[in-house]
Structures are given as structure tokens and as C-alpha cells.
Amino acid sequence: MQGLAPSSKLSLTIVVVVLLLGMAGAAHGLTRVVASSPDEPCMNMTLYYHNILYNGNNTANAAAAAATKPTALATTYWKNSTFFGTLIVFNDPVTVGKALPLTGEEPAARAQGFYFYDKRESLTSWFGFSIVFNSTAHKGTLNLVGADLMGDATRDFSVVGGTGDFFMARGVATIRTDAIEGLYYFRQQMDIKLYECYVWL
Amino acid sequence: MQGLAPSSKLSLTIVVVVLLLGMAGAAHGLTRVVASSPDEPCMNMTLYYHNILYNGNNTANAAAAAATKPTALATTYWKNSTFFGTLIVFNDPVTVGKALPLTGEEPAARAQGFYFYDKRESLTSWFGFSIVFNSTAHKGTLNLVGADLMGDATRDFSVVGGTGDFFMARGVATIRTDAIEGLYYFRQQMDIKLYECYVWL
Amino acid sequence: MQGLAPSSKLSLTIVVVVLLLGMAGAAHGLTRVVASSPDEPCMNMTLYYHNILYNGNNTANAAAAAATKPTALATTYWKNSTFFGTLIVFNDPVTVGKALPLTGEEPAARAQGFYFYDKRESLTSWFGFSIVFNSTAHKGTLNLVGADLMGDATRDFSVVGGTGDFFMARGVATIRTDAIEGLYYFRQQMDIKLYECYVWL
């Protein structure tokens, strides 16, 4: 899972932290690292999120479903609906490459959470979810929230916390729509960069 | 947009950080600043959030709508309903002054997200949303979550992350109800103070 | 409320911070503390969360209710339903011991927020909520999000922010199911450890 390798560019902050720890005589164990610059994340990875929405017929594959109907505002501006108010709950596969996992194969991670459409005039949504890793490579979660301004080429979510291998992480995930197939499947590339990490030093 | 000026009180932490960076020989570029005290945010701004709820007739102006109906618990205590369980999805204007934007004028920002009423005995709600800035003054988002204890004169949300101009921000937003007009409009003053910022030094 | 005592193990980071503040000549007031290791939280507490779900008959006690119905995916795998898509809104009591508060007694805190079931094949959910303290012991909120992987013995939420006595807190809450009584009551033990705090020095 090469996409998950820690950044090779050592942050300046590591130097500072180590310096301090050296001063205090304790440079061992799991140590907090804070990036001093947006160019130097302490960890980065690229993952693909596959939203496979229930369409009434795909019970074998669907991993997301609408929990509410669109509100009356959804069709006041666009007669084809902007889905304003539709809440989608999901437990979708997350992969290192673009392909969906083969049948019976576990994905690199799963994205568990929700999004809802929140604009009358166009398609935008808001996400809250966890990326749940449970493989030999990684165990733990990253928790994200943010606005998905779907009209923009890229948009950023906040990584607001992490657990397990991602203990106390913070960062930014840059999202890009990678594929759309009709109304019931889309794939998003997520470039996740962590700027606060705990690493073994 | 004077309300968005960075705090003029330079944080002690800036001194410490610069000192450290000086020690490491790299005091340039976008640099992380952490406030050492609640009195010294690294950035503060006051904004007004206008919740304009759909009432069945205001399709021209409405920017928020109920996606679920209140639960049975909503009327067990108050016969006029505490709306327990009602989920509101919104894309509401956010302004620097109290007035709504003129027709055709873009607001300073938009608040995109949701809240829901969560108490049987009285009106309280819980918010998750992004303040989306897309103007010449600011581009980026602030992500907030928190309990809106509507009976209190002021209450605090957490700013849990930021992107763009607000890269990796954290802070606290103090909320005060500024106006209520019937059931379908309210305005909240938000005093946003960031205690973790990245600034150009 | 002994469960809320700050950790007695002084973090290495406190030493470093104080050292720095000493260098800058300002070791007084509310000061930021960051744990240098997962073993040394700056504050920890154990609390119990009581989910008391509305069952149609318990209007006197219920503090949570379903705002949406399960989606069609909820019964495609388990005929007894995994509740996929059911959104629960709650304002539940939080206590220091396992017992519910006596009638008329205020709990140590309240948990206000939501969870929803998000998996077709088994019971898992996703939480967003605030722990609201309003007692002589503590005033303020902790804001949490995360995946509740109910099949695991323990699972971790992120504490993504705090206000009042928990100003700017971050940490991890480890959750363990402590009791389940039918479909309408469960109790979870929450071991909350904060790794970023502001403390009086």
C-alpha cells in the first residue's frame, strides 16, 4: 500500500521538536510532530472513495442509501432537482487504486458516514465521515468534515481527528471527482495530508 | 470587510515560535502560530448568520429547509412543539454587517450545513457546518460543530478545522441570537476567534 | 466528581512549554499544554452515556428518538434489520457512576447530538455530539465525532474541540458497551483522554 507512506520530506518542526526533546533529555517513543509549513505534511496518502448508492435494484453491491427525501426547495430552481435536503448514509469502499475491490476482497479502508445536499441553485453537499482502516497495513480511523463544493475542480475537507495508527491526527483532504456513472456511482480521489501526527522517533 | 482583520494583539506564542524558528534558521514563509492564552487569538472576526427557513411560500428567498419532521417526543412536554428530531439543511448567507445582502449581491460568505433540534423539554439544537468564503478578501472554509444551547445568552461552537486562507485553523465561535422574526428567520452573531493559525511571517 | 481529576502524570510537554515560557518571561495564566505521548494525557475522565430511546410508551423518560426510518438496505442482509439509515437524535444523561440519576437529580452532564446506523451487513453507527457540562464542578462542552464499530470490544471517537472549562481541548474517547437492555436502552462507558488542554499554571 505504497500510497500510505509517510512523507519523505522531513518537516522543520521535527527538527525543532527533537531539539526540544533533546534539551529535556527524552527523545524516545511516540512523539508529536507538527508541520511548520503546508508544503511539508508529516504524512500523506492518496485514496479513492467509491460511492455506490442504492438504486432500488442493486442490493448486492449498494453501500449507501438515501435516508430522507429531497425538500420542496430541491426543484424550485432546477426542475431536475438539486436534491436539497437529501441525506445519504454510507459505508463505502475506499481503495488505493481506482478499481473497486474484487468480489470477496477487503478494500484498503471503508468510509462510514453521511452527506447531504444543501443548495437550492446547484449541487453542493456536506460530509461528515470516518475512514476506517482495519488491515495489516493500518488500524485506526481518520475523522473528516467539510463542504463538498462540487462545482469546483478540487475542494478541501478538514481531517479533524484520528485514532489508532492515526492517533490525534489533523490535516486537510483535497477531493477531486474522478468518475461519475449515472446517478448512482461516483468516485472521488482524496489526497490526504496530515500536518499533526504522532510518530515513533 | 474590516470585521475580518487579524487580531492586533500579537500572541506570546508568535514570539516563542519565531525564537525557535530563528534557532533552526528558517523564519520565512507560512508559519504556524498557536495562541498561548484565550485573550490573544491569532485571528478574530465578527459575522452574522441569517437563517432563512422555507415556509411553503418563500421559494425566492429561502436558503434552509426541514429534511425531517419532528418526532413524537417534540410535543410530549410542550404542546407547541420543541421540534425534537427536526433536521434543517441550510446554505445561508453570512454577512459582516447585520443587513441581508441586496438582491444580486454576494454575501461575505455562506454557511453550509445542518442543525437539528435535540431536546424534549426546551429548544436546543446541534450544528455542523462550514463557513465558505469565496471573495477577493478571503477564499477558504472554516468547519464548525457544537451545541446551540438556545436558552443561554451566549454559547460556544468549536472551530475544528479550516482550509484555504484558514488552513488548519482551530478556535471557538461565540454565538448570540441577534434577531428572531417569527418561525422562519433568525440572525445569529458569531464572534469567531482562532487560536491556531498559519500566518505569513 | 473524582472521575474528572486531571492526570497526575505530568507530561513532558509541560516541562518543555514551561521552559519556553520561562525563556520568554511569562509563565503565568491559562497556558496551553500538549501531551508528548499517548500515555500522558493532560486530563482524563470516565463517564457513562445512557441512551434512552423512545419506544412509543416511555414519554416520561425517553431522551432520544428516531428522526428517520431505516432504508431498504437495512433488511437486505439481516432480516431483523441493521437499521441502516436510521437517524437518532438525543439529549441523553451522562453520569460519573453507572446508575441513572435519581428523579429530579441533574446528571453530571448531558450528551446532545445524533447517531445513525450506517452498515448493511452488521450494526455500526456514526456519532456527532457534544458533552454539555453545567454543574458547579464543570461548565463547558466537549465536541466529539467518530465511528462506533459496535462489533469491537472498544472503539475510539475523536474529541475535536472544547469550550468553557475545556477550552480548545483535543483528545480521544474510548467507548465500551457497558449494558444493553432490549432495543431501547444501552449504556456506554467513555474513557475520555485529552492530549491538548489549557491549564492554569
Write down the pLDDT at residue B2: 38
Chain-chain contact of A118 with B24 (C-beta, under 8 angstroms):
no
Helix (H) or strand (E) segment spanning residue C55: none
pLDDT (average), residues A155-171:
97
Q: Is the pLDDT of residue A5 over 60?
A: no
Confidence of residue A200 (pLDDT cuts 50, 70, 90): confident
Write down the pLDDT at residue C96: 96
B31, B54, B129: residue with CB nearest A73: B54
B19, B156, B195: residue with CB nearest C164: B156
Chain-chain contact of A158 with B167 (C-beta, under 8 angstroms):
no
Angstrom distance (rounded) from CA C181 to CA C195? 34
Angstrom distance (rounded) from CA A193 to CA A81? 34
Angstrom distance (rounded) from CA B91 to CA B94? 9
Model confidence over B70-101: pLDDT tens digits?
999 998 888 889 999 999 999 999 999 999 99
* Chain C residues near residue B76 by CB distance under 8 angstroms: 59
Write down the pLDDT at residue C104: 82
Write down the pLDDT at residue A16: 37
B24, B145, B163: residue with CB nearest A16: B24
Model confidence over B4-60: pLDDT tens digits?
433 333 233 333 343 344 334 344 577 888 987 888 899 999 999 999 999 999 988
* Chain C residues near residue A67 by CB distance under 8 angstroms: 68, 71, 85-87, 116
- Chain C positions with Cβ closer than 8 Å to A: 12-13, 15-16, 19, 34-38, 68, 71-73, 76, 84-87, 116-120, 124, 126, 128, 145-147, 149, 156-160, 170-172, 195
How close C175 gets to chain B, by Cα (Å)?
Answer: 20
Mean pLDDT of chain B: 86
* Chain B residues near residue C87 by CB distance under 8 angstroms: 68, 87
Residue with cell 516541562: C15
Q: Which of A182, A180, A177 is nearest to A58 (CA)?
A: A182
Chain-chain contact of C160 with B158 (C-beta, under 8 angstroms):
yes
Write down the pLDDT at residue C60: 87
Q: Is the pLDDT of residue A141 over 90?
A: yes
For residue B105, give the DSSP letter. Answer: P
Angstrom distance (rounded) from CA C88 to CA C68? 8
Give CA B195 to chain center in angstroms.
Answer: 15
pLDDT (average), residues A104-123:
94
* Chain A residues near residue B23 by CB distance under 8 angstroms: 16, 19
Cβ atoms B18, B32 nearer than 8 A: no
According to CATH, the topology of domain A39-194 is AOC barrel-like (2.40.350)
Residue with cell 427536526: B86
Torsion sign over Cα C148, A136, C159, B6: negative
Residue C10, C-beta contacts closer than 8 angstroms, at least 6 positions apart: C40
Angstrom distance (rounded) from CA C2 to CA A5? 42
CB atoms inside a 10 Å sphere around CB A146? 29
Model confidence over A75-108: pLDDT tens digits?
888 888 999 999 999 999 999 999 999 888 899 9
Write down the pLDDT at residue B139: 96
Write down the pLDDT at residue C28: 56
- In degrees, rounded to 5, the angle at the alpha carbon of residue C25 between the alpha carbons of residues C23 and C28 is 120
* Chain A residues near residue B140 by CB distance under 8 angstroms: 156
3-state secondary structure chain A: CHHHCCCCCCCHHHHHHHHHHHHHCCCCCEEEEECCCCCCCCEEEEEEEEEEECCCCCCCCCCEEECCCCCHHHHCCCCCCCCCCCEEEEEEEEECCCCCCCCCCCCCEEEEEEEEECCCCCCCEEEEEEEEEECCCCEEEEEEEEEECCCCCCEEEEEEEEEECCCCCEEEEEEEEEEEECCCEEEEEEEEEEEEEEEEC
Confidence of residue B164 (pLDDT cuts 50, 70, 90): very high
Cβ atoms A132, C149 nearer than 8 A: yes
DSSP reduced 3-state for B93: strand
Minimum Cα–Cα distance from C26: chain B residue: B12
Cβ atoms B113, B94 nearer than 8 A: no
Minimum Cα–Cα distance from C158: chain A residue: A161
Q: Is the pLDDT of residue A148 over 90?
A: yes
Residue A198, C-beta contacts closer than 8 angstroms, at least 6 positions apart: A30, A31, A32, A33, A167, A168, A169, C38
Write down the pLDDT at residue B28: 56
Write down the pLDDT at residue C27: 45
| Superfamily of B39-195 according to CATH | Allene oxide cyclase-like (2.40.480.10)
Write down the pLDDT at residue B19: 38
Model confidence over A23-79: pLDDT tens digits?
333 445 778 889 878 888 999 999 999 999 999 999 889 999 999 999 999 988 888
Q: Which of C148, C138, C201, C146 is nearest to C177 (CA)?
A: C148
Domain boundaries defined on chain A: 39-194
B114, B162, B198: residue with CB nearest A158: B162
Find which of B87, B110, B168 to mutate to test the A interface (most A CBs within 10 Å of its CB).
Answer: B168
Write down the pLDDT at residue B10: 29
pLDDT (average), residues B125-151:
96
Overall CATH class of domain C2-200: mainly beta
Write down the pLDDT at residue A62: 94
Instruction: Say what the ipTM of the complex is.
Output: 0.88
pLDDT-above-90 percentage for chain A: 68
Answer with the residue of higher pLDDT: B201 or B67.
B67
DSSP reduced 3-state for C26: coil
Model confidence over C3-28: pLDDT tens digits?
333 333 323 333 334 334 433 434 45
Angstrom distance (rounded) from CA B21 to CA A125? 40
Q: Which residues of chain C have pLDDT under 70?
A: 1-28, 201
Chain-chain contact of B12 with C24 (C-beta, under 8 angstroms):
yes
Minimum Cα–Cα distance from C117: chain A residue: A89
pLDDT-above-70 percentage for chain A: 86
* Chain B residues near residue C54 by CB distance under 8 angstroms: 71-73
